[in-house]
Amino acid sequence: MKVSVVGGSGYVGGELLRLLARHPAAELSQVTSDSMAGRPLSRAHPTLRKVSSLTFVPHAALGPADVTFVATPHGEAMARMPELLASGGTVIDLSADHRLRDPAQYPRYYHADHPHPELLSRAVPGIPEFYRDALRGASLIAVPGCIATAAILALKPLAAQGWIGPSPIVVDAKSGSSASGRDAGPAGLHAERSGVMRAYAPTGHRHTAEIEQEVGSPVALSCHGVEAVRGVLATAHVFLRQPVTEKDLWRTYRAAFGSEPFVRIVHESDGLYREPEPKILAGTNFCDIGFAVDASRGRVVTLSALDNLMKGAAGAAVQCFNLKAGVPETTGLDFLGLHPI
Amino acid sequence: MTQCPECDAAVANSAMVTGEIFPCPDCGTELEVTGKEPFTVEPAPKEAEDWGE
């Protein structure tokens, strides 16, 4: 399939290109970036040296493709989406512009009205674990945010069981620096970022709305930046409607994800890596999910780890692409990670 | 075929002998074969950890 990447010079764009460059079902035709137009892809993404001879083209030069990946900053894709969809191909949007079904949420979380609210109900969430059949026929796919993906995968099976009580689910997330993108400004300077443990969004993080939309419960999300380049660890505190045992959780997660290629239940009684850790997931498309029961407080703690650029963005997008292309879902996504790293 | 007493994963291995210890494929708990007919397992005894508590 002929594929293009709009906004290919950022970290998510680079990860997409890394995955698509040797994908057997993808013929990479155009990669746009106004700021990098005319320069080789490897100028922005050194891992593509001697891999692709393409150069960036301006956004205005974009032609039709079977699948167009959009990795532009939030707010840019929403204006251009009708034009992108008019070409007849599938659009996989990795920005936040089509993640929320309720248009009223955009002014609240993104400080602007959505210019094309009629498209929001058309967008299928890029979560194959829950929307596999719909994704095969989708023309507009909205890949969730990295923290949202981690939290949703851990929480939605519990919500489906009716176990979550009326109290908000408290989600405490830690993320690496690449999650803030290539244009993070002074916050990304080494002098500012090195050694950091920073609460950058104690309340009001945008992914709150995405998690609530999928899980159907109020969510209290706090986000921290930590000393890592890649990785998200989302710890969720779920206050239960009824007592739940560890075996209940094993059965529930096994039923939800036992056949999934990229979601692993990690809750082991021995060894160093007993619960999920993002460190060993760098470059992989896995989301590892663990849990613990706090019976005395009527609480379940879930732990979900992923690489924010992979299962939290580009990897999930390519997984969706594989569904559209009719190839095995793991195509181009079979890297198992590094250890030690 | 039986189930892991910790996580309910299906575990089976006809080649094992009574007393043999193996890890549960899901939760990693070390299980000891306590019977063959029927196949039964229990968590294997392990040394207690003391991390200075």
Tell me the pLDDT of chain A (341 aa) as tens digits.
Answer: 999 999 999 999 999 999 999 999 999 999 999 999 999 999 999 999 999 999 999 999 999 999 999 999 999 999 999 999 998 899 999 999 999 999 999 999 999 999 999 999 999 999 999 999 999 999 999 999 999 999 999 999 999 999 999 999 999 999 999 988 877 688 888 898 899 999 999 999 999 999 999 999 999 999 999 999 999 999 999 999 999 999 999 999 999 999 999 999 999 988 899 999 999 999 999 999 999 999 999 999 999 999 999 999 999 999 999 999 999 999 999 999 999 99
Domains observed in chain B: 2-43 (2.20.28.160)
Do you know the residue count of chain A?
341
- Could you tell me the sign of the dihedral formed by the alpha carbons of A92, A97, A98, A100, in that order? positive
As a whole number of angstroms, the distance between CA A299 and CA A243 comes to 9
- For residue A151, give how far its alpha carbon lies from the nearest alpha carbon of chain B (Å): 21
Count H helices, E strands: chain B? 0, 5
The pTM for the full model equals 0.95
The structural architecture, per CATH, of the domain A146-306 is 2-Layer Sandwich (3.30)
DSSP element (H, E) containing A82: helix A77-86
pLDDT value, residue A188:
83
Q: Classify burial at A277, counting beta carbons within 10 Å of its beta carbon; exposed 0-12, middle 13-18, buried 19 or more.
A: middle
- For residue A268, give how far its alpha carbon lies from the nearest alpha carbon of chain B (Å): 4
Residue B46 contacts residue B30 (beta carbons within 8 Å): yes
Domains of chain A, residue spans: 2-144+310-325, 146-306
pLDDT value, residue B53:
56
3-class secondary-structure state, position A271: coil
Q: CB-CB: which of A250, A251, A268 is closest to B28?
A: A268
Task: Name residues whose C-beta falls within 8 Å of residue A290's C-beta, 6 or more positions apart in sequence.
Answer: A265, A266, A267, A274, A275, A276, A302, A303, A304
- Residue B20 contacts A, CB cutoff 8 Å: no
CA A225 to chain centre: 17
Q: pLDDT, tens digit, for every residue of A158-217? A: 999 999 999 999 999 999 999 888 776 888 888 988 999 999 999 999 999 999 999 999
Task: Name residues whose C-beta falls within 8 Å of residue A283's C-beta, 6 or more positions apart in sequence.
Answer: A230, A307, A310, A335, A337, A338
Interface test with B, best of A244, A245, A247, A272 (most B CBs within 10 A): A247
DSSP secondary structure letter of residue B5: T
Does the distance separating the beta carbons of B9 and A269 come in below 8 Å?
Answer: no
Residue A316 contacts residue A256 (beta carbons within 8 Å): no
Question: A320 an active-site residue?
Answer: no
Does the distance separating the beta carbons of A247 and B8 come in below 8 Å?
Answer: yes
Instruction: Please compute Rg for chain B using Cα positions.
Output: 12
- For residue A315, give how far its alpha carbon lies from the nearest alpha carbon of chain B (Å): 25
Residue A94 dihedral angles phi and psi, to the nearest 5°: -95, -5
Measured between CA atoms, the residue of chain B closest to residue A267 is B27
Does the distance separating the beta carbons of A250 and B28 come in below 8 Å?
Answer: no
Measured between CA atoms, the residue of chain A closest to residue B8 is A247
- For residue A262, give how far its alpha carbon lies from the nearest alpha carbon of chain B (Å): 15
Residue A156 dihedral angles phi and psi, to the nearest 5°: -60, -40
Measured between CA atoms, the residue of chain A closest to residue B3 is A247
Interface test with A, best of B3, B7, B29, B49 (most A CBs within 10 A): B7
Q: CB-CB: which of B6, B8, B28 is closest to A271?
A: B28
Does the distance separating the beta carbons of A268 and B30 come in below 8 Å?
Answer: no
Task: Name residues whose C-beta falls within 8 Å of residue B36's C-beta, 6 or more positions apart in sequence.
Answer: B16, B17, B18
pLDDT value, residue A157:
98
Does the distance separating the beta carbons of A250 and B7 come in below 8 Å?
Answer: yes
- For residue B15, give how far its alpha carbon lies from the nearest alpha carbon of chain A (Å): 24
DSSP element (H, E) containing A136: helix A128-136
Measured between CA atoms, the residue of chain A closest to residue B47 is A270
Q: Top-level CATH class of A2-144+310-325?
A: alpha beta
Does the distance separating the beta carbons of A254 and B9 come in below 8 Å?
Answer: yes
Q: Which residues of B touch A250 (CB under 8 A)?
A: 7-9, 26-27
Count other C-beta atoms under 10 Å from residue A269's C-beta. Answer: 15
**Range B29-51 burial, b when 16+ CB lie within 10 A, else e:** bebbbeeeeebebeebeeeeeee
Task: Name residues whose C-beta falls within 8 Å of residue A334's C-beta, 6 or more positions apart in sequence.
Answer: none
Q: CB-CB: which of B27, B30, B46 is closest to A267?
A: B27
Catalytic hit among A146, A223, A287, A320: A146
